[in-house]
Amino acid sequence: MSEHVPGIVVAGVASGVGKTTVTLGLLAALRRRGLVVQAFKVGPDFIDPGFHRLVSGRPSYSLDGWMCGRDHVLATYIRRSRGADLAVVEGVMGCFDGRSADSDEASTAEIAKWLGLPVILVVDVRAQSRSAAAVVQGFERFDADLDLAGVILNRAGGERHARTVQEAIASTCRATPLGALVRDASLGVPERHLGLVTAVEGPLAASQIGRLADAVERAVDLDAVMGLARARSTPRAHIPGRCSTGAVASARARIGVAHDVAFQFYYEENLDRLREAGAELVFWSPVTDGELPDVDGLYFGGGYPELHASSLTANARMRSEVHRASERGTPIYAECGGLMYLGESLEDHEGVAHAMVGVLPATVRMRPRRLSLGYTDVRFVADTPLGPAGTTARGHEFHYSIMDAPSDEIRRAWAVTSHSGDARPEGYLYRRTLMTYVHLHFGSNPALAAAFVETCVTARRERDAMRLEDPARG
């Protein structure tokens, strides 16, 4: 593996211990030193990479072994960290938590071992002292192949408490204590029902980023962190994968990407692959824009349309234009929040119904106690804007809403198989509009992006031909 950039993996003993706070603080402090830092996120998360980008100044990429495979993870790390001084990979959940109880599949530990990177474990020590050393020892012994190199304590009660815990770890564990952040609620990022408030919504101002950098500079030995990364990052043999190259092809089609406070959940690689396939991406807002941009296709990602339902409803002209675009055969791909927007109506947490676009004749209802979460296999059973019948891909679902079943007049374009092994029809297809609760990762099948661009090219040619036949249509 040439050009292997040294890096670290920030893992947690569990969810909620402060991995994101520590990661953002490290990114801010290292960047303040003048270093170029490339961030990554293990797993299918959208929100954390948005904060990574805000703090590091570079797009953050997902490293998901289950959706995309080992070769893809290795290739993504190499290509996206090129030109950086250091890579920081934020883990998911607890270090060993993944898809199964008897393996490290889809876990932070799996990615760390694939990449040959040292792990820095974040331990929340609010309610413990010397016992924290036992926790670290347990993580060290659980998997001898994992390079657990350092420990950062979070939410220490004060300097004396932090010193006691670090001394206990130093005297009984192999991992190096690297510092301790004292409990400070102002350093955290606000949360809501699907996780953190998103970067687009502005919870991290420059002053907050500065406080994170200050806290890490005071509490963490950054020289030791960089020393571990440089000394213990072990290049792995690179097996050519199907990672995007980042090369932008000559524009063959213009695709409008909905991007605002309501829609912002996109894998950076999905956007890259569309560009590589010849798409010029035009970002626009269903909330605030007065009209659709001049595009050949539309891509709606996930987000929080339920929180902005009144504004989406109030923009009646935009809803009407999106509906007309669907009716005239404009290719549209809508995931999760996008599906909710294209439905007939959206019932918010208070039970208030808001009119939406109406392409999908169904009502979506917010049900906070009905969480759908998990990886999915997708097999196309019909020709769609993303590919023909027989196409396969992988993705994940993460939503609290439920949808009334649309009528049989709306075709089901694919079969979705979840972790339980049960397959169900999904992927709602109307003309060239494809709507789904699944967030597909285009890295799981690179043909998806190329197929969508080609569908947009075909639609534009048909539209141009109709205009030539009947200029009044233009």
127 Ramachandran zone, left/alpha/beta (phi>0; psi -120 to 50):
alpha
Beta bridge partners of 366: 401
241 Ramachandran zone, left/alpha/beta (phi>0; psi -120 to 50):
beta
What residue has token string 């590589």? Answer: 276
Please, which residues have CB within 8 angstroms of residue 449's CB and are 6 or more apart in sequence?
Answer: 270, 273, 274, 276, 277, 279, 442
Compute the distance between CA of residue 93 and CA of residue 104 in angstroms, rounded to an integer: 12
Quick check: helix, strand or coil at residue 156?
strand
Residues 71/242, Cβ–Cβ less than 8 Å = yes
What is the layout of strands, in order, in the sheet containing 61-63? 61-63, 37-42, 86-94, 7-12, 119-124, 148-156, 176-182
Contacts for 197-200: CB closer than 8 Å, 24+ residues apart: 198/47, 198/50, 198/261, 198/264, 198/303, 198/304, 199/47, 199/50, 199/51, 199/53, 199/54, 200/50, 200/259, 200/260, 200/261, 200/264
Closest by Cα among 97, 88, 92 to 30: 88
Beta bridge partners of 401: 366
Please, which residues have CB within 8 angstroms of residue 138's CB and are 6 or more apart in sequence?
Answer: none
User: Alpha-carbon Rg of the chain, whole angstroms?
Assistant: 23
Compute the distance between CA of residue 282 and CA of residue 174 in angstroms, rounded to an integer: 51
What 8-state DSSP symbol labels residue 265? E
> What positions carry a catalytic annotation?
336
Compute the distance between CA of residue 218 and CA of residue 220 in angstroms, rounded to an integer: 6
Neighbours of 410 (CB within 10 A): 17
